[in-house]
Structure 1
Amino acid sequence: MSEILVLGAGMVGMTTALELQSRGHRVTVVDRKPAGQETSFGNAGLIQSEAAEPYAMPRSLPELRDLLLGRSNDVLWSPAGVWGQMPALWQYFRNSHPVRHLALSRPHAQLIATASRDQERWIAASKAQDLIAKTGYISIFDDARSFDRAAADLSRLKDLYDIAATPMDGARFCAMEPSYLRPPAGAIHWQDTWSCSDPGGLVARYAALFQQQGGALVTGDASSLQRRGDRWDVQTAAGVIAAEQAVIALGPWSPDLLRRLGYRVRMIRKQGAHRMYDTPVPLRRPVFHTRYSVVLSSMRGGTRMTCGVALHGRARRPDLRQLDRAAAGLATEIDLGIPTADAPWHGTRPFMPDMLPMLGAAPRHDRLWFNFGHGHQGFTLGATTARHLADMVDGRVRPGGGAETWLEALTPAARPKVIA
């Protein structure tokens, strides 16, 4: 048993703390806010067991043209936001080449394959089953060509990753989701995906379980982490706390801390936002609108519309144009109702240019561990990367030296183009 600091109280940090605690370690979690109040709070609430392949950057000329001219609702950008992240974006573009993307999808798919099972352990332990639905989600397509392309690709996904998905016509979709006023051109039901009606609440349940089992959750400044002798310490509201080991699970804020320790981490900060609606007929499952790149999810407190990606660097204010465009375009498809009194939320996804989470031992510091950079899948993969990290901490798995050699692709040592 050892004493371990976990920096970050989001989904990744809290599942890491629970996993290490279950192995007999004495764990303290440090964050500036209560558990689950940052990126983990604002997502669409999907545990995406179908997302074997990470999100690639568009590479075709028509797609790039539409992005540059602002015709697509997938991505918003500003010159400052793009220029400030250009080296990482260029790496992302190169890694999105079909051959390279397929290679990177292999370790990503290995993680995704156990995501639901790994989350189920903590869902049950924290008695959070009331927040989880196992009815999948649906992607809908407004034009027949897009639907036909997506449906044709299903056989490849099923062969490679054993994904359960069913294409359907618009009438069948409307029968499944009667809140819709007219049928789309087509839809795909991704059957194995789970959804959560309160993502921040689920992380809070995990935090409560962690504390009930003797763990400490304290308010503190993660950026104060430093090495003193053979221990790591951090400044908190309760004073300086020290431990033998430390785990950095700060999501988009991880590079800022690591810069102080001498590391240069290339990360793409993807902003996202959501708005809540008082919808008259709640959705039975989440629906992803491919045309507008938004997910509608029934949550506690209303329907959440979660938008795509904005590249604005370190923007402090939410850019609501994607939500506004989607709401206007969906007015003839579904009665969203009026926005609730809740202010629109915005946050940042920590996306690595090679599309894989950063997992493993720090290259130049003893007993310092990384678990961040999950991109769009932190809510899905938190419990899974926590399990693998705990195996590394305990010496049960040494990437590159055992059965799980695919873990090597996730480690800092194997990714000099991402972290130096």
Structure 2
Amino acid sequence: MQADSIVLGAGIVGVSVAVHLQMRGRSVLLLDRRGAGEETSFGNAGLIQSEGVMPHGFPQGLGALLRYARNDRIDMHYHLTALPRIAPFLARYWWHSRLDAYRSIGRAYAPLIATSIDEHADLIRRAGAEALIEKAGWYRAFRTDAELEAATAEAEWVQREFGVRHARLDRTEMIGREPGLAPVFAGALHWTDPWSIRDPGALVVAYRRLFESLGGTVITGDAMQLSAGTTGWRLPVSGGTLEAREAVIALGPWAGDLTQRLGYRLPLGVKRGYHMHFAQPEDAPLRHWVLDAERGYMLAPVERGIRLTSGAEFALRDAPSTPIQIDRAEVAARELFPALGARSDPAPWRGARPCTPDMMPIIGAAPNHEKLWFAFGHAHHGMTLGPSTGRLIAEMVTGETPFIDASAYSPARFG
């Protein structure tokens, strides 16, 4: 089976790459071992974070590190047995999170984040997926005045630097918007511009259907079998072999497995995360996406009820689940939102976010191979940046001038 392009990975990034290549006249094969949007893209909080110009940094300062070392938090958990393997990644992550470096990274990251709403809007319209989208922003609730003041100062800096809008609400104003919240918080910040998604997995499926309507083909197969051929790339699948002039690796947390086979040593890590669904109360349902900022979990009113999402778990990607953060988060969530209903999933869902130590994705041409492209490492912002990454890669592949300068995200930055 022959095509111009093979895209490996059918999460939000891979599907978006496939759509944009197909729209530019390429014949595209989209390959995954599972269906579209059934891995990391399925289980996130469902935000298109146009405000997310500052990526999630590593805690700084001895006091913060000691608090996290106790390993009793919701926003971060680690496997002690994994530390010898993941310590080099964590050390580089900490180094890049120092204030001056972190703000420089934010300035490089912001142009990509700034495109997220417009690029999603185009695909949402083409896919007829408007019913999945809410356009009311999201809220960070703070339990103490001190944390609210610190976050407000940071939000004001972000607004001055990048033009990202926010509003500050006191406790009474926030409860007016969410009557079911208990008065256990001091106030909230409302990021007004982001969109939210009532079913993230369904949005990826809608984009996949758009891809197929444009003439693209979805194939089930093992991306790890990719190899260089005489005129491009080849991959064995059931019943034959796929051949294409170019290949795009968009495998999320599995991208390192394939790139390592191809001779690359990229500093990739993972942050695992969990979610659990709870029933919505009928009399005072949760209306908006709310982050309990000092506890580190989010409540999201999605199609299946209220999705509670945990923070980051530092562990080996395929280690057994340890959803202790969900148990801790449920206790805190019932303090904040007492009407939270019963659990509705048999067990917590687990996924893995693909991360780089400098907190920016890897988008661009593979340094040592012709016609091979990388599109992974989006950490917490994969859902946000899928369509923007898809457009960038498609423009690079087809020789167009990229719509933003993507040099900061090049694989070549790692040598």
Same fold (TM over 0.5): yes
| TM tier relative to shorter chain | over 0.9
**Partner AA of 1:64 in structure 2:** L
Within-5 A mapping of 1:196-211: 196-211=197-212
Partner residue, 2:15: 14
**Partner AA of 2:147 in structure 1:** S
Measured against aligned partners, the alpha-carbon deviations of 1:117-142 in whole angstroms (never above 9, x if no partner) come to 00001111111100000000000011
Contact 2:232–2:243 (8 Å) recurs in 1:
yes
Partner residue, 1:272: 273
Aligned-residue offset at 1:314:
2.6
Aligned-residue offset at 1:183:
4.9
Unaligned runs of 5+ in 1: none
Within-5 A mapping of 1:207-286: 207-280=208-281, 281-286=284-289
Distance 1:35 1:96 in 2: 33
Contact 2:252–2:354 (8 Å) recurs in 1:
yes
The normalised TM-score by structure 2 is: 0.96
Measured against aligned partners, the alpha-carbon deviations of 1:358-380 in whole angstroms (never above 9, x if no partner) come to 01111110000000000100000
**Does 2:74 align with 1:73?**
yes
Distance 1:127 1:114 in 2: 20
Partner residue, 1:156: 157
Within-5 A mapping of 1:321-360: 321-334=324-337, 335-360=339-364
Contact 2:276–2:345 (8 Å) recurs in 1:
no
Distance 1:10 1:193 in 2: 21
Q: Please provide the CA RMSD for this pair.
A: 1.5
Aligned-residue offset at 1:189:
0.5
Partner residue, 1:307: 310
Within-5 A mapping of 1:376-391: 376-391=380-395
Distance 2:287 2:311 in 1: 22
- State the SS of the aligned residue for 2:136: coil
**Partner AA of 2:353 in structure 1:** R
Aligned-residue offset at 1:238:
4.4
Partner residue, 1:108: 109
Contact 1:80–1:313 (8 Å) recurs in 2:
no
Aligned-residue offset at 1:73:
2.1
- State the SS of the aligned residue for 1:244: strand
Measured against aligned partners, the alpha-carbon deviations of 1:344-399 in whole angstroms (never above 9, x if no partner) come to 2101000101111101111110000000000100000011111111111122237x
Distance 1:331 1:338 in 2: 11
**Partner AA of 2:290 in structure 1:** V
Aligned-residue offset at 1:63:
1.0
The normalised TM-score by structure 1 is: 0.95
Partner residue, 1:293: 296
Measured against aligned partners, the alpha-carbon deviations of 1:42-75 in whole angstroms (never above 9, x if no partner) come to 0000000000111110111111001111243221
Aligned-residue offset at 1:267:
1.1
- State the SS of the aligned residue for 2:35: coil
Contact 2:326–2:348 (8 Å) recurs in 1:
no
Distance 1:384 1:282 in 2: 33
Partner residue, 1:413: 412
Contact 1:173–1:183 (8 Å) recurs in 2:
no
- State the SS of the aligned residue for 1:355: coil
Report which stretch shifted further, 70-79 or 48-57: 70-79
- State the SS of the aligned residue for 2:77: strand
Distance 2:173 2:83 in 1: 41
Distance 1:208 1:316 in 2: 33
Contact 2:184–2:335 (8 Å) recurs in 1:
no
Within-5 A mapping of 1:187-198: 187-198=188-199
Report which stretch shifted further, 174-183 or 57-66: 174-183
1:323/1:341 CA distance change after superposition, 3 Å: closer
- State the SS of the aligned residue for 1:85: helix
**Partner AA of 1:330 in structure 2:** A
Aligned-residue offset at 1:332:
2.7
Partner residue, 1:317: 320
Measured against aligned partners, the alpha-carbon deviations of 1:201-247 in whole angstroms (never above 9, x if no partner) come to 00001111111221000100000000111120112234211100000
Distance 1:45 1:81 in 2: 29
Contact 1:255–1:267 (8 Å) recurs in 2:
yes
- State the SS of the aligned residue for 2:274: strand
- State the SS of the aligned residue for 1:51: coil
Aligned-residue offset at 1:35:
0.2
Contact 1:82–1:313 (8 Å) recurs in 2:
no
Number of matched pairs:
411
Measured against aligned partners, the alpha-carbon deviations of 1:320-343 in whole angstroms (never above 9, x if no partner) come to 211111111232321211001443
1:357/1:65 CA distance change after superposition, 3 Å: same
Within-5 A mapping of 1:55-204: 55-204=56-205
Measured against aligned partners, the alpha-carbon deviations of 1:169-221 in whole angstroms (never above 9, x if no partner) come to 11110110112132511100000011001000000011111112210001000
- State the SS of the aligned residue for 1:359: strand
**Partner AA of 2:277 in structure 1:** M
- State the SS of the aligned residue for 1:223: helix
Unaligned runs of 5+ in 2: none
- Residue among 356, 366, 370 paired with 2:370: 366
Contact 2:73–2:325 (8 Å) recurs in 1:
no
Contact 2:40–2:353 (8 Å) recurs in 1:
yes
Identity rate of aligned residues, in percent? 37
